[in-house]
Amino acid sequence: MTWLDEIASSYDGVPDPGFGPPTVDVAAEGWVEAIAGARDGLGCAFFDFLTAVDELDQGFSVVVHVARHRVGTTESVLLRTRVARDNPTLDTVRHLYAGASWHERETHEMFGIDFIGHDAPATLLLPDGFVGNPLRKDFVLASRVAKPWPGAKEPGESEAGAAPSRRRTRPPGVPDPDEWGPRAGESGAAEA
Amino acid sequence: MDVTHPQRELVDLPLPRVGPLQRLAPEPARYVLNWGRRYSLWVFNFGLACCAIEFIATSMARHDFIRLGVIPFAPGPRQADLMVVSGTVTDKMAPAVQRLYEQMPDPKYVISFGSCANSGGPYWDSYCVTKGVDQIIPVDVYVPGCPPRPEALLQGIVKLQNKIAGESLAERYSSPEVERRSLVSRLTRPLLGPPPAST
């Protein structure tokens, strides 16, 4: 019995073999049961990580990666569920894997997902007083609006000393200073 | 298990300062003091990222900055004269950098090593990276690079030693810029208090 067969017999539906570990989509209501099944049924004693993905209109995907180690082989499964964007809540699994506690705290502060039953939701990685959930895709990275990056942004820019010929690129999440922030609309074609 | 912690009190230790004799030293004595100071820099490595590896390489046998009189691996900031901030300073780490800097005895020097410590480097847009360690502590020498080679740190150390050779501590510590920098961001987190009484 292969690992994929074992997963398929434990969960409804065929696991997606994907490019990495086999992925099983579970409903948010059955989240705790699914992970308990992976631990007790499949024997995945190793908790690797728990995190989330911002899927914009479709809410957040919460994924957990657990693995089973046998002599000579390690097999793992990725469990994935979806929570709504306007009310992102999910049951905690820290009673199943103690290591999930820190991962849930991180996911809570980075994505704003509440883990019901987690009694220590204090910030883990962010500095005190931080406002917002920085790994959400609608989080605005405002540094460049306040002050331009002092480095050269494009190849050849530092030698030329003038505006580059190519259109300037901005990383995702970084707004155009002309369109967002205190200097919006001041200079017309600065980013052309 | 009933463990009662003895009630500990926080002691407000004054910061070590340069004495008046140092400030009023005449030129020849100052020359000797600076000469001694520049060749016995106990360095405290604030390694925060990959630049710390380059710092360690500089301290090892091939580059060996002990031949310049820089003594690595001070037991802690209270025994150090020079702090090398090598790596990415995050907003979460910034209070710790500042606290350890304040524990160093005067005269103290800071080398900012690498792009991240200089200006935030490639993480300018990040939500959590401090835009240069000079936002929280005064920096004497900036070493550019990502990461800089060990030779660059050696050059930075030589630059710093030349700076020490010509400096006057009275001028260094009467500058309003230094005062402003040291006031710019006080610790916002309280010192670690005694543990709560066991119930």
Region B157-182: mean pLDDT is: 76
Closest CA to A76 of A5, A30, A7, A1: A7
Judge whether A146 is closer than 8 Å to chain B, CB to CB: no
Give 3-state DSSP helix, strand, coil % of chain A, rounded to 5: 20, 20, 55
Residue B26 in this model has a pLDDT that exceeds 60: yes
**Residues A140, A30: Cα–Cα separation, whole Å:** 34
Region B33-40: mean pLDDT is: 89
Please tell me the distance in Å from A137's CA to the nearest CA on chain B. Answer: 13
Dihedral angle of Cα B89, B94, B97, B103, to the nearest 10 degrees: 170
Q: Which residue of B has its CA nearest to A143?
A: B125
Give φ, ψ of B6 to 5 degrees: -65, 145
pTM of the predicted model as reported, rounded to 2 decimal places: 0.76
Q: Which residue of B has its CA nearest to A126?
A: B92
Strand residue runs (E) in chain B: 41-47, 70-71, 82-86, 109-113, 141-143
Q: Look up the ipTM and state it.
A: 0.71
Q: What is the pLDDT of residues A55-101, one digit of tens each?
A: 988 999 999 999 998 888 888 899 999 999 998 999 999 899 999 99
Could A151 and B119 be called an inter-chain contact, meaning their C-beta atoms sit closer than 8 Å?
yes
Please tell me the distance in Å from A158's CA to the nearest CA on chain B. Answer: 15
Could B125 and A151 be called an inter-chain contact, meaning their C-beta atoms sit closer than 8 Å?
no
Task: With beta carbons under 8 A apart, name residues in chain A contacting B134.
Answer: none
Share of chain B above pLDDT 70, in %: 77
